[in-house]
Amino acid sequence: MKTFIVKRIRGFGYAFKGAVILLKTEASIQVQFCIAILVTVAGFYFNISSTEWLVQLLAIGLVMSVEGLNTAVEDIADFIHPDYHNKIGRIKDVAAGAVFISAVIAVIIAGIIYIPKIT
Ligand SMILES: Nc1ncnc2c1ncn2[C@@H]1O[C@H](COP(=O)(O)OP(=O)(O)OP(=O)(O)O)[C@@H](O)[C@H]1O
């Protein structure tokens, strides 16, 4: 039982380290983090409802986690096959496509929340 708890705590430490690596080294995550701060400020400014906060937080979490997984896929692809290959191109494009989908959804969510408040 003790080793179970120690392993879980260690796992949390590695995961936190991963999140710090993403924020320190990945430009796209840094941009998304800045946008997350901006919409959080907007949330306080426009005094959005609890439901709007929940959806906004989910959208932020969705985009940043998918971006993190996309970075992991890119790193794996570069590690196992550093040279040009059609398959690697497709793998990276598909992973980037997943980020695109989550980002489009996040923009739609932002529109639904804020457009009525600024018009
Ligand atoms: N090894 C490869 N073989 C084939 N196509 C590739 C390869 N590496 C990258 N590509 C193509 O280039 C696109 C961008 O790849 P990637 O995101 O790795 O490059 P980058 O612009 O250097 O990104 P980053 O700055 O995030 O590292 C991919 O979506 C893919 O279409």
Residue nearest to atom 29 of ligand 1 (CA): 93
2-118: CATH number: 1.10.287.3610
**58 neighbors 106 (Cβ within 8 angstroms):** no
Nearest ligand 1 atom to alpha carbon 83 = 1
pLDDT at 2: 73
Q: What is residue 1's predicted lDDT score, i.e. its pLDDT?
A: 73
Tally of CB atoms within 10 A around 58: 13
Atom 15, ligand 1: which residue's CA is nearest?
92
Lookup: tokens for 71: 């970075």
| Interatomic CA distance for residues 85 and 82, integer angstroms | 9
Complex ipTM tops 0.85: yes
Q: Is the CB of 85 under 6 A from ligand 1?
A: yes
Closest residue (by CA) to atom 6 of ligand 1?
Answer: 89
Catalytic residue annotation: 67
pLDDT in tens, 54-81: 999 999 999 999 999 999 999 999 999 9
pTM value?
A: 0.91
- DSSP one-letter code for 83: S
Q: Write out the binding residues for a divalent metal cation.
A: 26, 74
Q: What is the reported pLDDT for 87?
A: 97
Residues of the chain with pLDDT under 70: none
Nearest ligand 1 atom to the CA of 71 is: 26
Q: Structural domain boundaries of the chain?
A: 2-118
